[in-house]
Amino acid sequence: MTLPTKVPAHSLQGGQGFAFQSFLEAHALPTQSFVVNPSRRTTVVGKLGTRLTFFPNSFIDSAGQVVTDAVTLKLREAFSKDEMIFTGLPTTSEDRLLESAGQFQLQASTEAGELSLCKSVNVELPIREEVNNPVAMRLFRGSSSSTRAYRSGFNFDWELASDQHLNLVKNIGKRYFNFSIDHLNWWNCDCFVKARQKVMLSVKMQTVIEAFEDRLAFLVFRDINAVVRMYPTGRRFSAINIPTQLTATLLVMTSAKGQLYLGEADILRTSNRMLRLPIQPIAEHDLIRKIRQVAKGT
């Protein structure tokens, strides 16, 4: 499972070819590469601390043959809210809000093409101090949604991989979530955010602009590691099944005629409401800086 196919992003002066998510991904942490001997047991460690242990003869090619040539591994890690915005992977599962302890994507290939797993990979994902309730975390995998309430052209979703809570282990003096994966995919350690009441929150852009090249909106929660991607409908965005009484920041991003625009609003308590939000022109570097500031709560 990989991210949905995206239209390539051209420069902001390029007009109709601009795609917001591709633009944001250019500011994400770079993909890490490792070359390994697939005939040996090997452990690779990502820059953010993710440990992946591969056992001998774990990879097969498209014909189902065990691979013995050198394998190139591609690893992407996304632990913080800004990285989840840049990679485009919000923390929801069938429109239920998740709190994330960390996401990663694993791919493997040789010069002949993409590979698959025939043996499970052992994963140790570091438990950061910011994780509120590590014992509640479970494993989710990248999938597609079957309950999208609005047509948005974006169908990536997190699917619960196991009902079991993740094991917690210590290794080299550090704490990790310990689990196995059997597919090359996006994976996420999460727990559902419990709520007595859930609401729909909507926002309408206040602008004279009639046509946008692209538009995107996120709810970035203040006290939990969670981001919701809102569904666009014309000049409106909506998010459903949002727990009440949470603090969040609303970010609305648009592009028109080569110009970026941003609307921002703080929501002290989430509730069932429609907001009206003006959008203002913003430079590219200021938009990226604002996303990082909001994600860090500054």
Residue 19's pLDDT is what? 87
Better pLDDT: 145 or 209: 209
Residue 297's pLDDT is what? 85
* Mean pLDDT to the nearest integer, 193-219: 92
Better pLDDT: 198 or 151: 198
Residue 172's pLDDT is what? 84
| pLDDT band at 85; cut points 50, 70, 90 | very high
Q: How far is CA 241 from the centre of its chain?
A: 19
Residue 273's pLDDT is what? 85
* Six-digit token string for 101: 């302890």
Average per-residue pLDDT for the chain:
90
* Mean pLDDT to the nearest integer, 48-74: 97
Q: How far is CA 230 from the centre of its chain?
A: 14
Percent of the chain at pLDDT > 70 equals 91
Q: No. of H helices and E strands in the chain? A: 3, 24
The pTM assigned to this predicted structure is: 0.89
Q: What is the largest distance, in Å, between two alpha-carbon atoms of the chain? A: 61
Alpha-carbon distance of 71 to 158, in angstroms, equals: 27
> Which of 139, 99, 100, 145 has the alpha carbon at shortest distance from 123?
139
What is the per-residue pLDDT across 7-34, written as a single tens digit (0 to 9) for each?
Answer: 333 444 444 467 888 899 999 999 999 9
Alpha-carbon distance of 96 to 92, in angstroms, equals: 5
Residue 6's pLDDT is what? 38
pLDDT exceeds 60 at position 268: yes
Length of the chain as a residue count: 298
pLDDT exceeds 50 at position 49: yes
